[in-house]
Amino acid sequence: MFNIGFAELLLILLIAFLVVGPKDLPKVARALAKFVRYLKVKWSEFIEEADLAETVDELKTMKTDIEQTVRSSIPLDDLKKTKTETEESLRQARRAAEGKLPPSTDKRS
């Protein structure tokens, strides 16, 4: 959690030993452990009461749904297909106008 290595932990214990003294060091350690446990309990209660985990999950789901809806509503594939067909029709019309090809007789709707 705090990324404290063995050397740092040893240094902290040495300073605590010098400041508090050998007699009261176990009492201080117990009090510190109780305080840390108390903070963990209060934090988990806060998270549970605030429903933050569920809210975050709901927001992620909503984001995914919105992205899928936006992707499906953009008609890029249809536009590309229509563009290709239009360009081909224009090429055929130019060739027919230049006299290279007779006008096509098929009627597209």
List the chain domain ranges: 8-98
For residues 26 and 40, give the distance between their C-alpha atoms in angstroms, rounded to a whole number: 21
Task: Compute the mean pLDDT over every residue in the chain, rounded to the nearest whole number.
Answer: 82
pLDDT at position 109 is: 47
pLDDT at position 40 is: 92
pLDDT in tens, 33-75: 899 899 999 988 887 887 777 887 888 999 999 988 887 777 7
Range in 63-72, 73-82, 98-107 the model is least confident about: 98-107
- Mean pLDDT for 76-105 is 81
pLDDT at position 64 is: 92
pLDDT at position 106 is: 55
Burial class (CB in 10 A: 0-12, 13-18, 19+), 95: middle
Q: Which residue has the higher pLDDT, 56 or 82?
A: 82
The CB-side HSE value for 1 (13 A sphere, CA atoms) comes to 2
pLDDT at position 51 is: 72
| Residue 20 confidence (pLDDT) above 70 | yes
